Structure 1
Amino acid sequence: MPDRIIKPSRRTVLKGLVSGTGLALTGAGLADALAQGVAPAVVTADRLRPQLPGGVMSGDVTATSGIVWSRADRPSRMIVEYSTSERFTTSQRRIGPAALESSGFTARVDLTGLPPGAEVFYRVRFADLVDGKAYSEPVTGRLRTASIDANKPICFVFSGDEAGQGWGINERFGGYRIYEAMRREAPDFFIHQGDQIYADSVIESEVKLPDGTMWTNIVTEGKSHVAQTLDDYRAAFAYNQLDKNKRRFAAEVPFLVQWDDHEVRNNWYPGQVIGEAEKRYQTRSINLLEARAKQAMFEYNPYRINQLDPEQVYRGFQFGPLLDVFMLDERSYRGANSPNRQTRLDADSAFLGSQQTAWLKASLKASRATWKVIASDMPISLVVPDLNPDVPKGTFEAWANADNGAPSGRELELADILRFIKQEDIRNVVWITADVHYAQATHYDPSRAKFTEFKPFWEFVGGPINAGTFGPNDLDMTFGPELRYVSVPKDNPQNRSPAALQQFYGRAKIDPQSRALTVSLHDLNGKSLYEVKLDVEA
């Protein structure tokens, strides 16, 4: 069942919505009305026709394709009309799948045969499956396919961490304001680097701030407890779609999505059994929770499902001669969180796992793009302890193990990848990440490192989108990191609300003439806080 809102938001209306009065048409009549772009003559009351509570999204774009996604509020069939003309003077139509209870009423269509480097406009309707007469209003969106033209600039934004620590949608504050700031950048795409939801975080109606004022959240039944059932996880994704800024952004900018821990439960790893010290969970098996969470994540995102491995999260995207993006999955194949000091690389010390590591190496070696961006859902050298109540102290969550020495534990896998990049002379590799809830720019150089078999490179941290601000974290010196920018002071209070204005995103731009990559870090209003221009390695 769709989640019932206890404190509802304003009615979902995206700017640019094509006016419609509902349809009492079927088959050819609907096709004619859509093709002509006219409002049908027969009116159906709002309550009798499907609604699109999550708006529309696109994602997983290639040079010739893109996924269009939406969600209905009842059993209905998705219909997508698309065109390279904003006026839909010429268009094509796709009859999509049925949105049913089995998919949380979500549906998607993979638009193929699109022109490279083009703006594609689309509008989505749902046809009621029960009476066969009522149709939703059309909701419009647009996407830009990847360009194959080396003379076209590329711009993308990146961030993560959404609705964490109980900081939800506060309409008095303006909602998830960072989405509006990113929308104004007019990026080609957005990399969401994980923690799209906080399945283990409850959203309450009010939270008292340090100055005595109240942070007021929109609240729903589905976010009143930790997620354990499939419908709980669906409700967490649906909650974020109540934010008008996110809906507007999603209708204009394609998403490339990866996951981290909070899509399931804080700091989870495969095979984990939640300990008795954690009182909120009745379902103790992480494997069961993970299966439900992954299904909800795929349902609520414009993923292109891998037909050979339908549960695979990691994947790559090509954006012409200038850019390849590699999206990692640092959850599905890791060993258990531990002190992270293993002396050999095996299943216990794995982070990406052997299959994903082999894919990353082969993909990097095969890439002919000028820039290779590795989207890692966790940072390289920042120390991230596992502070769950049911794990021992001294347990680590990310790559680093805080010993500042030669690689051990998960660092062995990273050292192997960095060594491969150097041995194969793979140039212009940049890492981006989120997870730690503040922004940072870090330069790595073997001259400062305990492990020296790698090329110098940069790592940029974005986030949070709308969550508590933390940090700065301690730094592990194994790979020679040097901080070039940190967005929060050393004595920064932990878990600051979005009202503190410490929410961050990154922006990357590639100039087609110089082929230089300029990366900047921004606050939730779009103000640039740090910028660096990276020239192409000769």
Structure 2
Amino acid sequence: MTIRIPTRNFRPLSRRRFLTTAAATGISTIAMPYLSRAADRPLVTHGVQSGDVSTDGGVVWARTDRPAQMLVEVSTTESFKSVRKLPPIAALPESDFTAKMLVDNLPGGQDIFYRVKFRDLSHTDVESEPVAGRFRTAPTDKRDVSFVWGGDVAGQGWGINADDGGMFTFSAMRKNKPDFFIHSGDTIYADGLIPSEVKLADGKTWKNLTIPEKAKVAETLDEFRAAHKYNFLDENVRAFNAEVPIFVQWDDHEVTNNWSASKDLPAAYKERNIALLAARAQRAFHDMYPMRESIVEPGRIYRTLSYGPHLDVFMLDERSYRGPNGPNLQTEYGPDAYFIGPEQMQWLKRALLNSRATWKVIASDMPLSLIVYDDATNKKGSEAFAQGDGPPRGRELEIAEILRFIKTAPIQNTVWLTADVHYTAAHYYDPNKAQFQEFEPFWEFVSGPLHAGTFGPNELDNTFGPEVRFIKAPGLDKQNLPPSAGMQFFGHVKIEGATGQMTVTLRDRADVALWSTTLDPKLA
């Protein structure tokens, strides 16, 4: 559940006024009470997270092991010398003992330190040990901003292997000290089993940490939740989550591979209703991440996240509103060609038009011009936007409409970020090389996997004139490489406050910069 903390004054706070307010209300660090049941205290079971950070707040998340109240304190100093103590909220079985709180009325451009503990509802004198985290609110001025992005975690049976350093890419991302992280989807592989061992091509053995729920495909609400909690067992992930806010979206593997409303589930599933399966998956997804929840459409994932004068991020949902994964060769737009759907299309146009940020980053969980088949073995059906060379057809009609709108509005400085295909690439879109030419040139950057099998490269569709400026993929003769092969990728973006220049760098899990480009913003 999400509780919004009411405030009397919604003006952005300075750090000084934040501390003055805390002092005036008599808030100070509270000593841990005597624990009469110290041997049976609640636990913070999977670390802490923050997310959807803005200039004046963000969402804080944690999970415990029993019915309890989540207690949150925030401060502008790591010592918690002066704190603001927030009203408690309940963590109950209905949400798998998770709780998330929208903490607002914070000062902009400020490091915010928070700590979370839980109070046992049956024994209110018993509290957990506190767990601390931090995030930085979005700036109100044009300072430097940096963030990382990527997707695809715990896929193809590659789970947490202590001998390989665990989910090591999260440690590499953390070293860059980003302001936030865009998770581009496939946060879990609900359809992917985690075996105890996997034999590698070189004769060595990959050894996974296992849990009972990952011995089968996820079908129940508890099994979907367990898949998310599995990733939080990794110490790299927990350390990253405690320091870097997440902007999260979903893709197919949060439910099952290549799911759409027309999905024919494999024999491994006893639950045959794809709509019910997706509903359970969506509930687990919202339980497990610190998202701001929509009161207009509960469960909605697409949203705008503003991070200061230089940056707005538009998070898309390319699963919930799509039509069937059929041939998608229609020349006229209709329900079978929906991918993000009419309502989300209108939202995106309005949001882009209303944006005053220097850069408009469109976070798409699937790439625009890489062909992804619904049936990869027989190269049939459409899973992504791309329908093959030629003029726009099927789902490509939505991209054509968005690109045309961006040109005619006009809207400047749009960049597309994505993952999904399990390799990294930089694509430059040139209307002079395209079948559809009613758009201005733009970039799309692809990154991932963060911790999954490495695949690719995919076929490229010429409809919108993409040119590959960089690619790193294993080659078609070496598919599903394990994380230990080193081909795990993430992207890093830095926007310089003084000039507004955006530098995009594609990196591997050793934090090696593979390729980089600097983009100059167009000024109105």
Q: Is the aligned partner of 1:154 residue 2:139?
A: no
Per the TM alignment, residue 427 of structure 1 is displaced from its structure 2 partner at its CA by 0.5
Distance in 2 (CA, whole Å) between partners of 1:75 and 1:295 is: 19
- Could you give the per-residue CA deviations for residues 98-130 of structure 1, whole angstroms, max 9, x where no partner exists? 111100110011111000111100000001112
CA RMSD of aligned residues (A): 1.5
Aligned to 1:36: 29
Per the TM alignment, residue 42 of structure 1 is displaced from its structure 2 partner at its CA by 4.4
SS across alignment from 1:53? coil
Aligned to 1:204: 195
Q: Is the aligned partner of 1:332 residue 2:320?
A: yes
Q: Is the aligned partner of 1:214 residue 2:222?
A: no
Per the TM alignment, residue 36 of structure 1 is displaced from its structure 2 partner at its CA by 3.0
Q: Is the aligned partner of 1:464 residue 2:457?
A: no
Distance in 2 (CA, whole Å) between partners of 1:158 and 1:366 is: 24
Q: Is the aligned partner of 1:133 residue 2:119?
A: no
Contact kept? 1:190, 1:256, Cα under 8 Å: yes
Distance in 2 (CA, whole Å) between partners of 1:61 and 1:220 is: 32
Per the TM alignment, residue 491 of structure 1 is displaced from its structure 2 partner at its CA by 4.0
Contact kept? 2:34, 2:125, Cα under 8 Å: no
Distance in 2 (CA, whole Å) between partners of 1:207 and 1:512 is: 47
Contact kept? 2:312, 2:359, Cα under 8 Å: yes
Pairing 1:275-314 to 2, within 5 Å after superposition: 275=265, 278-314=266-302
Per the TM alignment, residue 335 of structure 1 is displaced from its structure 2 partner at its CA by 0.6
Aligned to 1:64: 56
Aligned to 1:103: 95
User: How many residues matched?
Assistant: 499
Aligned to 1:398: 384
Among residues 440, 443, 454, which one is paired with 2:428 in the alignment? 443
Q: Is the aligned partner of 1:505 residue 2:497?
A: no
Aligned to 1:144: 136
Contact kept? 2:309, 2:356, Cα under 8 Å: yes
Amino acid at match of 2:357: A
Aligned to 1:22: none
Per the TM alignment, residue 308 of structure 1 is displaced from its structure 2 partner at its CA by 1.4
Provide closer, same or farther for how the CA distance between residues 487 and 43 of structure 1 changes in structure 2, counting only shifts above 3 A: farther
Identity of aligned residues (%): 51
Pairing 1:321-470 to 2, within 5 Å after superposition: 321-387=309-375, 394-402=380-388, 404-470=389-455
Pairing 1:4-19 to 2, within 5 Å after superposition: none
- Could you give the per-residue CA deviations for residues 107-162 of structure 1, whole angstroms, max 9, x where no partner exists? 01111100011110000000111222221100000011111111x10000000000
Distance in 1 (CA, whole Å) between partners of 2:283 and 2:477 is: 37
Distance in 2 (CA, whole Å) between partners of 1:134 and 1:39 is: 10
Contact kept? 1:382, 1:400, Cα under 8 Å: yes
SS across alignment from 1:386? strand
Contact kept? 1:53, 1:241, Cα under 8 Å: no
Distance in 2 (CA, whole Å) between partners of 1:382 and 1:72 is: 41
SS across alignment from 2:61? strand
Provide closer, same or farther for how the CA distance between residues 340 and 175 of structure 1 changes in structure 2, counting only shifts above 3 A: same
- Could you give the per-residue CA deviations for residues 374-418 of structure 1, whole angstroms, max 9, x where no partner exists? 0000000001011278xx85101000012x100001001100000
Distance in 2 (CA, whole Å) between partners of 1:316 and 1:104 is: 28
SS across alignment from 2:163? coil
SS across alignment from 2:119? strand
TM-score computed with the length of structure 1 as normaliser:
0.91
Per the TM alignment, residue 221 of structure 1 is displaced from its structure 2 partner at its CA by 0.8
Amino acid at match of 1:297: F
Distance in 1 (CA, whole Å) between partners of 2:307 and 2:451 is: 28
Per the TM alignment, residue 181 of structure 1 is displaced from its structure 2 partner at its CA by 0.5
- Could you give the per-residue CA deviations for residues 153-205 of structure 1, whole angstroms, max 9, x where no partner exists? 00000000000011000011110001011111100000000000000000010
Per the TM alignment, residue 39 of structure 1 is displaced from its structure 2 partner at its CA by 4.8
Contact kept? 1:436, 1:470, Cα under 8 Å: yes
Q: Is the aligned partner of 1:247 residue 2:238?
A: yes
Amino acid at match of 1:232: E
Provide closer, same or farther for how the CA distance between residues 388 and 53 of structure 1 changes in structure 2, counting only shifts above 3 A: farther
Distance in 1 (CA, whole Å) between partners of 2:196 and 2:316 is: 35
- Could you give the per-residue CA deviations for residues 207-252 of structure 1, whole angstroms, max 9, x where no partner exists? 0000010000000011110000000101001100000000000000
Pairing 1:218-229 to 2, within 5 Å after superposition: 218-229=209-220
Q: Is the aligned partner of 1:274 residue 2:255?
A: no
Q: Is the aligned partner of 1:179 residue 2:170?
A: yes
TM-score computed with the length of structure 2 as normaliser:
0.93
Contact kept? 2:371, 2:461, Cα under 8 Å: yes
Amino acid at match of 1:192: H
Structure 2 unpaired stretches of 5+: 1-24
Aligned to 2:469: 484
Amino acid at match of 1:485: F
Contact kept? 1:255, 1:302, Cα under 8 Å: yes
Contact kept? 1:209, 1:215, Cα under 8 Å: yes
